[in-house]
Amino acid sequence: MHFLSFSFFFFFFFQAEDGIRDAQESRGLGDVYKRQVSEYITQELNTFDIKVSDEESEYVVTKLDANMASIGKKFGKEGGKLKAALVKATPEQVTAFRAELAQTGKITVDGKELAEEDIKIVRTFREGITDYESNTDGQVVVLVDKRKDEGLMDAWRAREFVNRVMQLRKSAGLVVTDKVNVWFETKDEVLANAFASRADQINASVTDTWAAKDLSLIHI
C-alpha cells in the first residue's frame, strides 16, 4: 500500500482586506484570518504542515497590471497607455507603488491618479526553484514541497493505520466504550517500523490494545 504526504506552503498577501490601512493595526486581523484559513485547509486536505506567509520575495515575483474594466471607464483610450506603464514597472517601482497604495489607497502613473480598484497585483512563482510544485491564480501562490521526507511518510502511514482501525470498529458496530485487541499483519518492514515509531501518534486515537502479529519485522 502506498501513502502520499505533502507539506504545503501558502502565500497570502493582504491589501487592507479588513478595511484598516495602517499595517500595524491591520496585522492582528490578518493573523486571525491566516489562522482560520490554515485550519480549514488542514481539515480539507488532510495535510500535516501548512505555512502561511506574506514574505513573498524568496519564492514569488510580483508585478502590476491594469483592471481595464475600471481604467477604461475612467480614462477611455488612455487606458492602454496606463496598462503598459503598469506592466513595465520595475521591481523597485512595484514596491514603491504598493507601499503608496497601502498608505493612501492611490498612486500616480503617467500623471494619472489610479485607485486600488484600477490596479491588479499579479504574483507568479519565481523560476529556478526546483523543490516545489506551484500554482497560482495571481493572488494566492500555493507551493507543494515535493521532497521526500521519511518522518512525514511515517506519520502519514500511522494516520492511515488509525483510519483503518476506525473503519473496522464502525463496520463491526462498536461504540466508543467497547474495547478490543487490534492485531495487524504486514510483510512490509518499512510499514511495520513506521507504526512502531509513531506509537504515540496512534495511541492518541486508538485506545485499544494494538500490536503486530510478527514482531521480527520491527527494528527501532
Predicted confidence (pLDDT) per residue in 15-52, tens digit: 434 443 444 444 444 677 777 777 888 778 767 677 77
Which whole-number Å values give the CA distances from 184 to 133, 179, 196, 198, 211, in the listed order? Answer: 35, 16, 12, 15, 6
The pLDDT, as a whole number, for residue 167 is 92
pTM, whole model, 2 decimals? 0.50
| Average pLDDT score, the chain | 78
Tens of pLDDT along 139-198?
677 778 777 778 888 888 998 999 999 999 899 998 888 888 888 888 888 888 889 899
Q: pLDDT confidence of 205, banded at 50, 70, 90?
A: confident
Secondary structure in 3-state letters for 4-60 = CCCEEEEECCCCCCCCCCCHHHHHHHHHHHHHHHHHHHHHHHCCCEEEEECCCCCCE
- pLDDT confidence of residue 81: 93
Using pLDDT thresholds of 50, 70 and 90, give the confidence band for residue 215: low
Decide if 153 contacts 194 (C-beta within 8 A).
yes
Percent of the chain with pLDDT strictly greater than 70: 80
Instruction: Spell out the SS3 assignment of 54-113.
Output: CCCCCCEEEEEEECHHHHHHHHHHHHHHHHHHHHCCCHHHHHHHHHHHHHHCEEEECCEE
